[in-house]
Amino acid sequence: MIRKSKIVLFIILSINILVTPLTQAGGCAYGSVQAWFRTTEGVWVNATAHPSLHRGESFEIKVRVNIATDLRVVYLKLHEFGTPVYEVITGPSTMEQFLENWELTMSNQSWTSVWNMRVKANTSWVNGSSPLELYVQFTKNDYDDASVMFDILNAFIVDSLWENYSPKPNLDDVSLKNRDTPRLSNPSFIGVVIVVFLSGVLLWSKRKKEK
């Protein structure tokens, strides 16, 4: 009888775990992180979400970081494995870029960030699931830190283009172009002008002597 009661209790606890929404996505001694996902016309769903998304389909994610103790800095990064699937349209950071927060790092503080994202229209990873991972590091000093890592979503990528897809620029491409495009700073430009001027003077002097 006692054994049957334990089995019934175990089943009830298991059902409660499965049906109870996940509101605390991850935590450590220095803080906690919550995350949500929603489609363009949907409602916010707690992480980890399991939607079906088409190529080019846009969505939003929201991340809330809660600080439990005084820290030096907090790092946050959106990450994925293997073939690129997701890209950022607008938001405080791009894919694989560390978002650093040096200001709101006092005990009992928190902040929320939102990203407008989409599935790459030309992604080759289709008809399969692709996780979008969130990594947050709470740094107390150079030798003391703790991290939280979990999937915000694990979407099944449908091999068809989203009917509302619009090929507008995305933050990942713009940031990549800005990083790769060489820029001539003012000091370098002045140096080039001086070199050209001196070369002209020397050439003029040489021709004058030849005459």
- How confident is the model over 150-162, as pLDDT tens digits? 999 999 999 999 9
Kindly state the percentage of the chain with pLDDT values over 70: 70
23-181 has which CATH code? Answer: 2.60.40.10
Domain boundaries, the chain: 23-181
Position 208 scores a pLDDT of 55
- How confident is the model over 189-206, as pLDDT tens digits? 344 444 445 555 555 565
DSSP letter string, 65-117: EEE-S--SEEEEEEE--SS--EEEEESSS-TTPPEEESSS-STT-EEEEEEEE
List alpha helices for 20-45, DSSP H: none
Judge contact between 152 and 26, C-beta under 8 A.
Answer: no
Query: Given phi > 0 = left and psi -120 to 50 = alpha, else beta, which region is 200?
Result: alpha
Position 204 scores a pLDDT of 54
97: its two tokens: 């870029």
pLDDT-based confidence at 5, cuts 50/70/90?
A: very low
Q: How many CB atoms lie within 10 A of CB 99?
A: 18
Mean pLDDT to the nearest integer, 74-82 = 96
Position 168 scores a pLDDT of 78
pLDDT-based confidence at 60, cuts 50/70/90?
A: very high
DSSP letter string, 157-199: EEEEE-TT------HHHHHHHHHHS----HHHHHHHHHHHHHH
Judge contact between 108 and 82, C-beta under 8 A.
Answer: no
77: its two tokens: 């990064």
- Degrees (nearest 5) of the Cα angle 14, 16, 20? 130
Q: Per residue, what are the HEC states of 104-160?
A: CCCCCCEEEEEEEEEECCCCCCCCEEEEEEEEEEEEEECCEEEEEEEEEEEEEEEEE
pLDDT-based confidence at 10, cuts 50/70/90?
A: very low
Quick check: pTM over 0.75?
no
Position 25 scores a pLDDT of 73
